[in-house]
A and B are shown apart, each in its own frame.
Chain A
Amino acid sequence: NAGVTQTPKFRILKIGQSMTLQCTQDMNHNYMYWYRQDPGMGLKLIYYSVGAGITDKGEVPNGYNVSRSTTEDFPLRLELAAPSQTSVYFCASSYSKVASEAFFGQGTRLTVV
């Protein structure tokens, strides 16, 4: 069972470059999330989606964009990368909002230099 798959696992970007972090889940979950985790810190919500075609901002959306054209995919786009975006990014999905388990991808470690 694949679960939540993120690609790439590691990436180094130069300041001003752009990239897309891919996230795919095969569990038919409605809810999907993007988090970032800075060293020694908890998870901060960037964007989330409650279903295909519906996305909304989380705590720290600036510098990022998302789309949700299908139930399975929830890519995160970084435009004009900045050193402040150096972090570990986690994608997660869950079936419902109550008493549900959020499944996490393995994470993407991004460094902006």
Chain B
Amino acid sequence: QKEVEQNSGPLSVPEGAIASLNCTYSDRGSQSFFWYRQYSGKSPELIMFIYSNGDKEDGRFTAQLNKASQYVSLLIRDSQPSDSATYLCAVFTVIQGGSEKLVFGKGTKLTVNP
């Protein structure tokens, strides 16, 4: 099982709709969870992080974490064409020897149609 898995998509939603992006992770000891947005040809940029079970809201974005199910999601309300990008889920995970690293999923490509 891969450490961090995302639906590769692509995901297409109409403008104004809610986009739902999902991510699962394998290590129950993981502590913190991140959503990055990456526009084509650009570097990733952080949208949100979450480390407690439940929801965290920031403007049009809501991150949801369920540690029991090892599941984290990102909801984008009132989707805009400018939200069209690849969304990367990242998890701080423990590896051999007790060190930690930031592990990324493959990303989900989102297209918001005007």
Contact = CB atoms under 8 A, between A and B. Distances in A.
Interface of A: 33, 35, 41-45, 48, 50, 56, 58, 90, 92, 94, 97-102, 104-107
Nearest to A59: B103
Interface of B: 6, 31-32, 34, 42-46, 49, 51, 88, 90, 92, 97, 99-107
27 contacts: A33-B101, A33-B102, A41-B106, A41-B107, A42-B106, A45-B101, A45-B102, A45-B103, A48-B101, A56-B97, A58-B101, A92-B102, A94-B102, A97-B32, A97-B100, A98-B31, A98-B92, A99-B49, A99-B51, A100-B32, A101-B49, A102-B46, A104-B43, A104-B44, A106-B42, A106-B43, A107-B42
Contacts, number: 56
B88 A101 contact: no
A94 B92 CA distance: 12
A99 B32 contact: yes
Contacts of A100: 32, 49
Contacts of B102: 33, 45, 92, 94, 102
Nearest to A41: B106
Q: Which of B42, B43, B92 has the most CB of A within 10 A?
A: B43
A43 B99 contact: no
